[in-house]
Amino acid sequence: MPRTAAGRADQAGIDVKERILETASDLFYKQGVRAVGVDLVVDKAGVAKTSLYRHFGTKDDLVAAFLEREDRCFWETWDRVAAQFAEDPMGELDAQLEWIGSRAGQPDYRGCPQLNVAAEFPEADHPARKVSTAHKRELRQRLKLIASRLNVADPDLLAGQLAVLINGAFVSAQIFEAGEAVRLLQNAAGVLISASYTG
């Protein structure tokens, strides 16, 4: 069925929006949000500045969209892994830590985008900071669900400890030896879980 002119225009608008977001996401992650101006984004994306502002009202909106995109990708991976371990919480935690550690151990890893942006924007009411905070709270909540399934004495405490462990790995990429991030995460988590049964 042939596409209508309106349909082609709608698709073109989506394509432009995605190109802007893709370009901005790459620049924000590699160079930092404050270091990247709107002029650089539109130049690298090959679009007019008016197109950027048509799809993203402000730079802050574009930054928030970047983090929302990262958030979706992170939880899509998490959910795929979780689905494989519905009856095995320890297996799930090990598998989650495996892909997280593999990501943090990559040579070009520049840290968690949520943490990076939160460090650049300390204002609690900044749109990007809100996305970052929601992401980190969701991480702790999901870890608490795993901890509850492990039947530890204090699931919230273990979830907090695991969240600190994971976030610590995200900011420690530069000190990891090749291939050790997964092992460090899984071993440390094992110690925390063992202690949570006897503490």
Nearest-Å Rg of the Cα atoms of the chain is 20
Give residue for tokens 């830590």: 97
The answer to whether 55 touches 48, Cβ cutoff 8 Å, is no
CATH number at residue 79: 1.10.357.10
Both 13 and 40 in one domain: the answer is yes
Conformational region of residue 106, where left means phi above 0, alpha means psi within -120 to 50, and beta covers everything else = beta
- Judge if 36 and 127 occupy the same domain: no
Which pLDDT does position 14 carry in this prediction?
A: 63
Q: Which domain holds residue 44?
A: 1-57
Regarding whether 171 and 78 lie in a shared domain, the answer is yes
Give residue-wise pLDDT tens across range 23-34.
Answer: 999 999 999 999
3-9: long-range contacts at Cβ-Cβ below 8 A with a sequence spacing of 24 or more? none
Instruction: Examine the domain organization and report whether 51 and 75 are in the same domain.
Output: no
Q: Report yes or no: 112 and 166 within 8 Å, Cβ to Cβ.
A: no
> Which segments within 30-163 are labelled E, that is strand?
none
Per the CB < 8 A criterion, the answer to whether 169 and 184 are in contact is yes
Residue 122's pLDDT is 84
- What CATH number did the domain enclosing 19 receive? 1.10.10.60
Q: What is the DSSP letter of 154?
A: -
- At residue 173, the pLDDT reads 83
Provide the number of structural domains found in the chain.
Answer: 2
* 140, 172: one domain: yes
CA–CA dist 160, 157 (Å, integer): 5
pLDDT < 70 positions in the chain: 1-14, 198-199
> Which residues, in sequence order, are CB contacts of 100 under 8 Å at separation 6+?
166, 169, 185
Q: Does 83 share its domain with 40? A: no
**Whole-number Å distance between alpha carbons of 166 and 53:** 36
Q: Clarify whether residues 132 and 49 are in a common domain.
A: no
**Statement to judge: residues 100 and 126 lie in one domain:** yes
pLDDT at 6: 43
Tell me what pLDDT residue 178 has.
82
Q: Are residues 27 and 83 in the same domain?
A: no
Task: Based on the fold, state whether residues 98 and 71 are members of the same structural domain.
Answer: yes
38 and 81, same domain (yes or no): no
Query: In terms of domains, do 139 and 154 share one?
Result: yes
Kindly report the pTM of this predicted structure.
Answer: 0.87
Angstrom distance (rounded) from CA 145 to CA 161: 14
**Domain end position, chosen among 14, 37, 57:** 57
Contact predicate 40/46, CB 8 Å: no
Given 23, 39, 57, the domain boundary residue is: 57
Give the DSSP letter string of 158-181: HHHHHHHHHHHHHT-GGGPPTT-H
Domain stop point among 33, 57, 81? 57
